Amino acid sequence: MYQKNVLDNGLRVLTTSMPHTRSVGVAILTGVGSRYEGERERGISHFIEHMMFKGTPRRPTAQHIAEAIEGLGGVINASTDSEVTTYWAKVAHHHLPFALDVLVDMFRNSKFDPQEIDKEREVIIQEICRMMDMPESWVHSLIGELLWPNHPVGWDTAGTRESVTGITRQDILDYIDRGYLPRNTVISLAGNLDADRVTEQINQALGSWKSAPAPEFIAAADPAPGPSWRIEFRETEQTHLCLAVRGLPANHPERFTLRILNVLLGEGMSSRLFLEIREKRGLAYSVGSYTSSLRDTGAMVLYAGVPPQKAGDVVTAMLEQLDLLKAKEAPAAEVTKAKEFTKGRILLRMEDTFANAAWFGQQEVLDQPVLTVDQVVQHLDAVTAADIQQMAQRLFSRGALNLAIIGPFKDELAFADRLQL
């Protein structure tokens, strides 16, 4: 269980005691990401995440910040997604006060030196170019654009070369002023810690941080009627494709059913997609599925990397598996296996202190009811084969399909017949 304290300015502090551990994970989560950006500032959330590591008045350079944590044998990192930016560290438990001081110093006192901004701008542009040169990664950006066309939810988190080039220091400061706010931020800690002591340290460091209303985002529009597809021509040896439908929001009551459905369909080497497409037919080396969920929308994505001449067969095989889930309840043994797979992966992950901090912090910053692992396990156990079939029937209609392909195909209609249009 976790303990929650809310400071006077609205900053939420979550502490999870794990006295048997020798480490502590600390996460500062702020509830802004790429979906809060305007067209001109695409990528600014990710840009800010990079710049937070470039120096403060007390720790003037990136080297000072890195050595502060790595010199203790700890780990420090960050991530940006559509709705949350997370800064985190994991250290031996007796180093917690120092690690927390480093994270707070970065989070509140970064200098955003103009020269460092210009250097990091080039680094991020190279990151974007690298991703574009990796079709197995870029195809996931393409499917996002199909699922949410002309909307920030569908934009790549890193932005574009043009948008990153145009971001100024003042843009960064303005974005932080409107997005990095105490009422929009959660500090979550887990491990061998004293909850009262760490909460007091946070209060002393951030209690005077001025509050303001949290920013709002543009709601995701309803999907356009009919299927959509996009083919990006490249002379590649392997074709990369994503077949996707809109999914469920993060707090949807049936999200546990979707989670089991995804495991059954495409997560792991005993999933239907893996067994049918790789093991039985030998059509692909890499194949699987995943889900994503946001405050008001979500997605379910099937992915495969295949020889170009077999891409059409893989699309057909994927559709056959979706149709099978719609037409027939999964056998009880298969449903049980999917549940145990899901529960086991959660339980194994939760032995880590940072995973615990992120588990509670992520739910809290997105204003979800914060569920413990045991509560989630109960929800997963309650999923039935009939629930899974009904979910498949709800999501996998032909008119809801979106197909993104990167490979040596010049005909935009090359896969229209495979989608049964």
Percent of the chain whose predicted confidence (pLDDT) is above 90: 94
pTM to 2 decimal places: 0.95
Q: Which two tokens stand for residue 164?
A: 């990153």
H-helix or E-strand spanning residue 349: helix 332-349
User: Greater confidence, 398 or 157?
Assistant: 157
Ramachandran category for residue 25: left, alpha or beta (phi over 0 → left; psi -120 to 50 → alpha): beta
State how far the Cα of 327 lies from the Cα of 333, in Å rounded to an integer.
Answer: 18
| Backbone φ, ψ for residue 114 (5° rounding) | -55, -40
Those residues with Cβ within 8 angstroms of residue 391's Cβ, 6 or more apart along the chain or in another chain: 254, 257, 258, 261
Average pLDDT, the chain: 96
Percent of the chain whose predicted confidence (pLDDT) is above 70: 100
Q: How confident is the model at residue 90 (pLDDT cuts 50, 70, 90)?
A: very high
Report the largest interatomic distance among the alpha carbons of the chain, rounded to a whole angstrom.
Answer: 64
Instruction: Quick: pLDDT tens for 258-268.
Output: 999 999 999 99
| pLDDT score of 279 more than 90 | yes
Report the pLDDT value the prediction gives residue 224, as an integer from 0 to 100: 80
| pLDDT score of 45 more than 60 | yes
CA dihedral 375, 377, 381, 387 (to 10 degrees): 80
Report the pLDDT value the prediction gives residue 418, as an integer from 0 to 100: 72
Report the pLDDT value the prediction gives residue 420, as an integer from 0 to 100: 61
State how far the Cα of 204 lies from the Cα of 23, in Å rounded to an integer.
Answer: 23
Residues with active-site annotation? 49
| pLDDT score of 155 more than 90 | yes
State how far the Cα of 57 lies from the Cα of 109, in Å rounded to an integer.
Answer: 7
| 98-110: average pLDDT | 98
Report the pLDDT value the prediction gives residue 353, as an integer from 0 to 100: 98
State how far the Cα of 220 lies from the Cα of 59, in Å rounded to an integer.
Answer: 40
CA atoms within 13 A on the CB side of 107: 30
Q: How confident is the model at residue 415 (pLDDT cuts 50, 70, 90)?
A: confident
| pLDDT score of 354 more than 70 | yes
Instruction: Quick: pLDDT tens for 179-204.
Output: 999 999 999 999 999 999 999 999 99
Helix, strand or coil, per DSSP, at residue 290: strand
Instruction: Tell me if 35 sits within 8 A of 217, measured CB to CB.
Output: yes
| 62-70: average pLDDT | 98
Report the pLDDT value the prediction gives residue 414, as an integer from 0 to 100: 75
| pLDDT score of 138 more than 50 | yes
Those residues with Cβ within 8 angstroms of residue 403's Cβ, 6 or more apart along the chain or in another chain: 146, 227, 228, 229, 230, 241, 242, 243, 244, 315, 415, 419
Select from 148, 367, 147 the least CA-distant residue to 251.
367
| pLDDT score of 413 more than 80 | no
| 10-31: average pLDDT | 97
Locus of tokens 């003042």: 170
Report the pLDDT value the prediction gives residue 421, as an integer from 0 to 100: 44
Report the pLDDT value the prediction gives residue 417, as an integer from 0 to 100: 74
Helix, strand or coil, per DSSP, at residue 19: coil
CA angle 393, 419, 331 (to 5 degrees): 35
| 294-323: average pLDDT | 96
